[in-house]
Amino acid sequence: MVFGRLGAAGTSHPLATLAGIETLKRGGSAVDAAIAINACLGFLEPTACGIGGDLYAMLWDPRAGKVVGIAGSGRSPRALGLETVRSRAKNGALPPYGAVTVSVPGTVDAWWQLHRRYGKLRWAELFEPAIAYASEGAPVAPVVGHYLGRAMTNFARPGAGIEETANARATYAPGGRPPGVGEVFRNPDLARTYGAIAAGGRDAFYEGEIARTIDAYFRRIGGWLSRADLAIHRSNWTEPVATTYRGVRIHALAENTQGLATLQMLNILERFDMAGAGFQSPSSIHLQAEAKRLAYEDRARYYADPEFARVPTAWLASKEYAADRAKLIRRDRINDAVRPGRAPSRGDTTYFTVADKDGMMVSMIQSNFRGMGSGLVPDKLGFMLQDRGQLFVLRDGHPNVYAPGKRPFQTIIPGFATRGGEPWLSFGVMGGDMQPQGQAQIILDRVDYGLDAQAAGDAPRWHHEGSSEEMGEDDTALDARGLLRLERGVPDATKRALAGLGWRLGESDGGFGRYQCVERRMSGNERVYGAASDMRADGLALAY
Q: State yes or no: pLDDT of 193 exceeds 60.
A: yes
Residue 478: which pLDDT band, with cuts at 50, 70 and 90? low
Rounded distance, CA 445 to CA 443, Å? Answer: 5
DSSP 100: G
Contact 155, 96 (CB under 8 A): no
Out of 109-123, 272-286, 339-353, 453-467, pick the least confident.
339-353
Residue 531: which pLDDT band, with cuts at 50, 70 and 90? very high
The burial of 153, by beta-carbon neighbours within 10 Å (0-12 exposed, 13-18 middle, 19 or more buried), is given as exposed
What is the overall mean pLDDT for the chain?
93
Most confident segment among 282-291, 346-355, 406-415: 282-291
Give the pTM. Answer: 0.95
- Residues with Cβ within 8 Å of 167's Cβ and at least 6 positions away in sequence, in order, are 376, 377, 378, 379
- Around 92, how many Cα atoms within 13 Å sit in the side-chain half-sphere? 9
CA dihedral 116, 117, 118, 120 (to 10 degrees): 40
Q: State yes or no: pLDDT of 476 exceeds 60.
A: no
Rounded distance, CA 178 to CA 155, Å? Answer: 12
Q: Which residues in 190-212 are b (16+ Cβ under 10 Å) and which e?
A: bbbbbbbbbebbbebbbbbebbe
Contact 322, 264 (CB under 8 A): yes
Give the model confidence (pLDDT) of 294-353 as tens digits: 999 888 888 888 888 888 899 999 999 999 999 999 998 888 766 665 544 345 689 999
Phi, psi of 149 (to 5 degrees): -60, -40
Please report, for the chain, the start and end positions of each structural domain, with discontinuous segments joined by +.
28-55+64-236+364-391
pLDDT of residue 337: 67
